[in-house]
Amino acid sequence: MRLKEYYQKEIRPALTEKFHYPNRMAVPKLCKVVINVGFGRQAKEKAQIDKIAGTLEKISGQKPVLTKARKSISAFKVREGMVIGAKVTLRGQRMFDFTEKLVKIVFARVRDFRGLPKELVDRTGSMTVGLKEHIAFPEIKADEIDSLHGLEICFFTTAKNAKEGQELFRLLGFPFKM
């Protein structure tokens, strides 16, 4: 069963029973997933930017948007308007497919993974997960890469607090530490 159907048949009733929501529109759900990569020292190399954007496109299935610096910071050698990262925003079926792939495949392939701390869920019920290496994704072939980069994955929900968000993520299959 796909994650979207599983949410409608299993997760929504379980959350309604636990938190006693007055109607089904009040039940928390996943709104969007944002995958973000900061270029860091590689921001000056156009070839490296293209490679990172290409891996982000392979991972997410859609073209990334390049993010630019809003203001100059001399300590970081960043000028206003300079490309400093890339991001992809997933909604709908792509969001559910990516989340399912992350939970079932990627977390199992991450080296020394012992589960996610419950503190990752913030007070608004959303969660941000950082990965140090992008090679955990099945679309990335280890022999084709020349440098590793990390990425940050933000899950935004309609949950009102951290407790609701933690329960939603637990029911979605996210492996939390006990």
* DSSP string over 3-44: HHHHIIIIIHHHHHHHH--SSGGGS--EEEEEEEEE-GGGGG
Global pTM?
A: 0.87
More reliable by pLDDT, 171 or 135: 171
**Residue of 139, 142, 150 lying closest to 42 (CA atoms):** 150
List of domains in the chain: 3-172 (3.30.1440.10)
Distance set, CA 148 to CA 17, 37, 64 (Å):
44, 12, 18
Residue type, 162: A
Q: pLDDT tens digits for 21-76? A: 998 889 999 999 999 988 777 767 788 888 888 888 988 889 999 888 888 887 87
